[in-house]
Amino acid sequence: MPHIDSRLQTLRFSILMTRRRWIADEVSGDQAALIGEHADHLVRVLRARVGEDFDIATAQSVRRGRITSVKDGRVEFDLGEVISAVPLAEITLVLAVFKFDRMEWAIEKCTELGVSRIVPVIARRTDAHLAAASAKRFERWQRIARQAAEQSRRFVPPEIAAPIKVAEAVNHAGVLRIVLAESEERTLLRDAVKLHAAEEGIVLAVGPEGGWTEDELQLFRQAGWVSASLGSTILRTETAAMAATAVVASALYSL
């Protein structure tokens, strides 16, 4: 019956659109593999089996992947057709290091929102203990970003840079560089993006709890950064990072 066929086609399309996506650990020609905990999660949590299909993201494209082998710590795929993927805007988030549980939340959500690079920064108001321990969190931050990228069906996870100091961060290259400042009263973030009409290469700096110090803001201004705000309310750092990323991404995609 025609209406049944139509429903089956709709169901099939829905299944294809919601197929889980994984970022390959290894790629060689038309073969790919997940390894270690990455593979174990697919097998033990999702109970994947030989013959099942998933979307597999490689450095070059997203392709249909069919499981050919399941072993402890390793799942192998044959790669098939290329699946179209929408490229993300180039947004770099320069994020001052703050309380780790909240920072991890910000990394996860900003990854879902589309940042292409996250640069952790040791600011004047970053707690000394957090600053000392930040280098040891690097791999965990990478893992969180990777998981968030897969969950949100991204092509690749954002690059997570090693923590640097503000004096280094202000020299980060970008077509448009914006520092969020609570003291900024004239320019809203959305207007700064539209005013400069930069379609790529946006760098966005978000300070720690308590904000950037005046000396730090001066460094940003001297290096040519544009100051902007999210409005009159004072937001927690993780909220500001997510809100700012959403504003910038929305503005870029509407250009």
pLDDT in tens, 33-85: 998 888 888 888 778 889 999 988 887 788 899 999 998 889 999 998 888 76
What value, to the nearest 5°, has the Cα angle with vertex 15 and ends 25 and 89?
Answer: 55
Q: What's the pLDDT at 78?
A: 92
Considering the entire predicted model, what is its pTM? 0.76
Q: Is the pLDDT of residue 207 over 70?
A: yes
Domains of the chain with CATH codes: 2-83 (2.40.240.20), 91-253 (3.40.1280.10)
Q: What's the pLDDT at 85?
A: 67
Tell me the C-alpha to C-alpha distance, in Å, between residue 98 and each of 57, 78, 132, 201: 31, 42, 12, 25
pLDDT in tens, 109-159: 999 999 999 999 999 999 999 999 998 998 999 999 988 988 888 878 899
Residue of higher predicted confidence among 36 and 204:
204
The residues, any chain, with a CB within 8 Å of residue 83's CB and separated by 6 or more, are 55, 61, 62, 63, 64
Q: What's the pLDDT at 42?
A: 84
Q: What's the pLDDT at 87?
A: 67
Q: Is the pLDDT of residue 14 over 80?
A: no
